[in-house]
Amino acid sequence: MSAREPRSRTRGGGRDARRAARARSSAVQVPYITRKLPVYEVLDEEGLALIEHNADTILEDIGLEFRDDADALRLWKEAGASVDGERVRFPKGLCRSIIQRSAPAEFIQHARNPERSVRIGGPHMVMAPAYGSPFIRSLDEGRRYATIEDFRNFVKLAYMSPSLHHSGGTVCEPVNLPVNKRHLDMVYSHMRYSDKPFMGSVTAPERAQDTVEMAKILFGDAFVDQNTVVISLINANSPMVWDGTMLGALRVYAENNQATVISPFILAGAMSPVTVAGTCAQILAEALAGMAFAQLVRPGAPVVFGTFASAVSMQSGAPTFGGPEPSLVVYVCAALARRLGVPFRSGGGLCASKTADAQAAYEAANTLQTAMLAGVNFMLHAAGWLEGGLAMGYEKFVMDADQAGMMQAFLEGVDLSENGQAMDAIREVGPGQHFLGCAHTQANFETAFYRSSIADNNSYEQWQAEGSLDAEQRANAIWKRMLEQYQAPELDPAIDEALTAFMEKRKASVPDRDY
Amino acid sequence: MSAREPRSRTRGGGRDARRAARARSSAVQVPYITRKLPVYEVLDEEGLALIEHNADTILEDIGLEFRDDADALRLWKEAGASVDGERVRFPKGLCRSIIQRSAPAEFIQHARNPERSVRIGGPHMVMAPAYGSPFIRSLDEGRRYATIEDFRNFVKLAYMSPSLHHSGGTVCEPVNLPVNKRHLDMVYSHMRYSDKPFMGSVTAPERAQDTVEMAKILFGDAFVDQNTVVISLINANSPMVWDGTMLGALRVYAENNQATVISPFILAGAMSPVTVAGTCAQILAEALAGMAFAQLVRPGAPVVFGTFASAVSMQSGAPTFGGPEPSLVVYVCAALARRLGVPFRSGGGLCASKTADAQAAYEAANTLQTAMLAGVNFMLHAAGWLEGGLAMGYEKFVMDADQAGMMQAFLEGVDLSENGQAMDAIREVGPGQHFLGCAHTQANFETAFYRSSIADNNSYEQWQAEGSLDAEQRANAIWKRMLEQYQAPELDPAIDEALTAFMEKRKASVPDRDY
């Protein structure tokens, strides 16, 4: 998957050479994308101000519940909110002012390989694999429960994908491990099999703490206290509830100066109103309260405004993806995050399809394009997502990663240099000739166009001669070859031993549990 | 495929009911889209001015060839261009000033059903089927040469697709009819089996004239002279050549006040430089010369600035679709058309894939999203395109038409009315509850979210129980049902007879030819 293969290997005839050429995209590994193109806006100043006004009204009049966390209620009371049972109501502007006082507009999440540290916020975009699926799907095995082997496979695939900048978090649920211990193996896998940045456990405060302890072994105590080395996903229990589990994990990370993505999880029509404007106001209210809470815990702890946007089918109640309304929600919320001055998370290759078919691809492409143009800074679920997040697809993963490479190339914008203007080429070629052999083409052909690893652009006859494979079948060959070719990044054996020892000690300290 | 089925038919249990529900999208038939959202721009004023400057340089220094058309050369000489053999060089600003003097910024193409007339230009978007494929593909038959029966089928499918506004032109090549007569059957099919606007023949001036004559039978002589009832695709022979066939067809349409889409046909790297900025300058130069020529023929004849953008694979020379560079070309050229003040054509559901698989869908979705956000006014190839245009896909057609419906919904923008804000719903539901049953949801659920005709959003188990069909298989059932349910729009029998008589006379007047 390296970007700059010698020309002799990418040209020349033969089925194998062509297959090999297809398996390599032209994506260049960069630590993260820095966009040179503007974002797309769907609302003007007046429209955005109206949504903000409505979010303020929700916060002030209706309030949010902070459940099973007495200390959170205490912090809110001290900060000036009105607390009634678990219901917290916020004077107008309180959350916004708390956030704007201390939350960074942009921050670095360090990777153990410093060349792979990412900037989250501003004009930057970081793409991470899908998150949270209990199942995997592959062309060979169909759908089955995921294991820790699958987890390691996806860590390896993300490591080898030049257009994924992040190792992600729960890339799939290793359901063959006990629930109360699997986070250790997940965090260890990210640390051991990749050198890209990763996400921490959020399923219980003590698991978040384990993540931080392991990060300290990897990065050193002092470094972790002063720098962000873990980012973690904190979902609201929409509508308008933050629950004790998530608040506990949030608190551990914020206390340790680690980043959290404060994410309302919206299936519009079920967890929010059936309209875009209503959904956006609710999302903003939930995100404001969550991000402000993180700042109360530790001012300056990095937070990301998150939005997971789906619309439920009004026929069946099932989540749908890739449609117009969730796209509008993402565009609006990205603009709201910019106005607030914090990084934004959304998007990904979302779909409801059970297989990596045309439905999956239309929906994923629509979601990815939206996220790219909206100005998403941290794109979770960028690769692998199937079936509303229930399955992580091996073939879908490499297909989506190919799309991520296209986005990187697109966001480079238009080269207006003399070489980009190519007037010499136009003069050289002239009317009625072709550009294939001209000097300018020869000088630029290696980097001229993004080269997809998945697409078959050959003639029908050649495609037939190669077995009439569809994209899913070609993707199947690609991920298998990647795993064959995987080589682990170096890790100091002393650190590896310390991590292993920590895990063993923690595993031995409690019995296995399935919750 | 009607938009407002009674609720009892779209809900309720059972496999058949669910299948039936899926076959109906929630798209509403409107004659054309009027966007409520802004366009996306990738270049600023300075960048666009640079491209325009380079186009002027191409026109002035290099010039274009107008081949096999002495009268075109005469018109250019009279207009102040320098003519050297067939090479025409244009003083700076000449083409632009000719266009801006008389070409309309927006025009109406009348349909025989006045409710289906379209506005082309400004904030409007018209979506038309793919154009020009010699082959068709279906899941049942695979790939084979197209026939006039296929042609009629696609006219019927476009007629029944609420999100396609136009019947298109050569929706596929009816290769079972003689080359020199098939245009008659194609034009007749559009007139007879649909009441949406359509495109004319361009493969020879006399065939263009036949199109105009048949339009006069359908609409009346005087109406046709004063109104635009046909739009036709005039491709440049890029780079920098307008050939006699296309010029001849262009002239017939312009003389008759009918619209032409003046379209450089670009496989970048072959017909234009390998860079975006170079390609855009060349496209602008070619389009300026072609549109200005139409204005010389008849000032005020509607013209559309066309751009067909692909990038060739630098490995094989094959055209590729859905990648980042052609997207940038479309965004830039759309902006150039706006600055010039003419409508813009580009986009579609383009792909290189041989089947309606994930490759087809990623590439089509990327191209469709780009065209939508770029502000394309006339979107040719919006549905059905496979294999770089070599095949028209039955399944792909209904899949793409579904995407067109999503675009219509997206471009409606965000509803900021009180109902859209949904504050009452948020108050009614409150923290921790769900919105499915609340009054606001009940009042809005029919129209709340776009309902895809293709997507299966059901549970894995239900999807399995229904046969584990992929999107292509579901689409197969949909187009077949549509053709079963097709009912022809009324046509005055006297007109039908006159059209038939005209065709028979023309067919009898010359022997069959295969050129």
Structure ipTM? 0.95
Are the C-beta atoms of B169 and B211 separated by less than 8 Å?
no
Q: Report the half-sphere exposure of A115 (CA within 13 A, side-chain side).
A: 4
pLDDT for residue A185: 98
Q: Give me the DSSP letters along A289-344.
A: HHHHHHHHHSTT--EEEE-EEEEE-TTT--EE-S-HHHHHHHHHHHHHHHHHTS-E
Residues of chain A with C-beta less than 8 angstroms from the C-beta of B369: 365-366, 369-370
Residues of B in contact with A472 (CB under 8 A): 357-358
Q: In one letter, which amino acid is A242?
A: W
How many degrees, rounded to 5, is the angle at CA B323 between CA B319 and CA B325?
95
What the block records as the tokens of A335 is 């603009």
A5-19, A486-500, B244-258, B379-393: which has the minimum mean pLDDT?
Answer: A5-19
Q: Is the pLDDT at A16 greater than 80, yes or no?
A: no
Please give the pLDDT value at position B8: 35
Residue A433 is classified by DSSP as: -
Distance CA B35, CA B199 (A): 23
Nearest to B353 among A40, A240, A456 (CB): A456
Work out the minimum CA distance from A395 to partner chain B, whole angstroms: 10
Q: Cβ contacts (< 8 Å) between A359 and chain B: which residues?
A: 361, 454-456, 470-471
Q: Are A344 and A49 in contact (CB under 8 A)?
A: no
CA A243/CA A122 separation, integer angstroms: 30
What's the rounded mean pLDDT across residues A137-161? 98
Cβ contact A460–B276 (<8 Å)? no
> Residue A415 and residue A426: Cα distance in Å, rounded?
16
Strand order in the sheet with A142-145: A142-145, A135-138, A391-393, A385-386
CA distance A500 to chain B (A): 38
Per-residue model confidence (pLDDT) at position B4: 36
The values of phi and psi at residue A343, to 5°, are: -65, 160
Residues 6+ apart with CB under 8 A from A506: A181, A184, A210
Residue B498 tokens read as 């006159």
pLDDT tens digits, one per residue of A178-189: 999 999 999 999
Angle made by CA atoms A250, A255, A258, in degrees to the nearest 5: 70
Distance, C-alpha A187 to centroid of its chain: 17
Which residue in B319, B362, B449 is closest to A457 by CB distance?
B319
pLDDT in tens, A423-468: 999 999 999 999 999 999 999 988 889 999 999 999 999 999 999 9
User: What is the average pLDDT score of chain A?
Assistant: 94
B414:A314 CB<8 A: no
CB B449 within 8 A of CB B405: no
Q: What's the first-to-final CA gap in chain A, in angstroms? A: 39
pLDDT on residue B273: 97
Core vs surface per residue B262-275: b (16+ CB within 10 A) or e: bbbbbbbbbbbbbb
| β-sheet with A241-242: strand ranges across | A82-84, A87-89, A64-66, A241-242
How long is chain B? 515
pLDDT in tens, A35-67: 999 999 999 999 999 999 999 999 999 999 999
Distance from CA of B285 to the nearest CA of A (A): 11
- The neighbour count for residue A436, using CB atoms within 10 Å, is 17
| Residue from the list B315, B450, B455 with its beta carbon closest to the beta carbon of A352 | B455
Q: Residue A266 — φ and ψ, nearest 5°?
A: -115, 120
Contacts of A468 in chain B (CB under 8 A): 354
Mean pLDDT, residues A482-505? 98
Taking only the tens of pLDDT, chain B with its 515 residues reads 333 333 333 333 455 555 555 555 677 889 999 999 999 999 999 999 999 999 999 999 999 999 999 999 999 999 999 999 999 999 999 999 999 999 999 999 999 999 999 999 999 999 999 999 999 999 999 999 999 999 999 999 999 999 999 999 999 999 999 999 999 999 999 999 999 999 999 999 999 999 999 999 999 999 999 999 999 999 999 999 999 999 999 999 999 999 999 999 999 999 999 999 999 999 999 999 999 999 999 999 999 999 999 999 988 889 999 999 999 999 999 999 999 999 999 989 999 999 999 999 999 999 999 999 999 999 999 999 999 999 999 999 999 999 999 999 999 999 999 999 999 999 999 999 999 999 999 999 888 899 999 999 999 999 999 999 999 999 999 999 999 999 999 999 999 999 999 999 999 999 999 98
CA angle (A143 as vertex; A138, A147 as ends), nearest 5: 85
Distance from CA of A466 to the nearest CA of B (A): 13
Residue B13 has a pLDDT of 44
With CA atoms as reference, the chain A residue closest to B321 would be: A457
CB A56, CB A92: distance < 8 Å: yes
Contacts A–B by Cβ distance under 8 A: 416
Q: Do A315 and B416 touch (CB under 8 A)?
A: no
**Strand B259-263 and strand B230-235: pairing?**
parallel
Taking the C-alpha atoms of residue B19 and residue B21, their distance in angstroms, rounded to an integer, is: 5
- What's the confidence (pLDDT) of residue A230? 98
Per-residue pLDDT band at A2 (split at 50, 70, 90): very low
Q: Are A431 and B240 in contact (CB under 8 A)?
A: yes
Listed in sequence order, the residues at least 6 apart from B331 whose beta carbon sits closer than 8 Å to its beta carbon are B40, B41, B42, B43, B370, B373, B374
Count of H helices and E strands in chain A? 20, 21
Average pLDDT of the segment spanning A503-509: 98
Residue B137 burial (10 A CB sphere; 0-12, 13-18, 19+) = buried
Answer whether residue A26 shows pLDDT above 90.
no
Mean pLDDT along residues A205-230: 97
**pLDDT number for residue A28:** 81
- The residues that bridge with A304 in the sheet, in sequence order, are A261
Cα distances (Å, whole numbers) of residue B351 to A295, A370, A475, B381:
48, 20, 17, 10
* Residue A142, phi then psi, degrees to nearest 5: 70, -140
Instruction: Quote the CA–CA distance of B422 and B428 in Å, as a whole number.
Output: 10
Answer yes or no: do A470 and B355 touch at CB < 8 A: yes
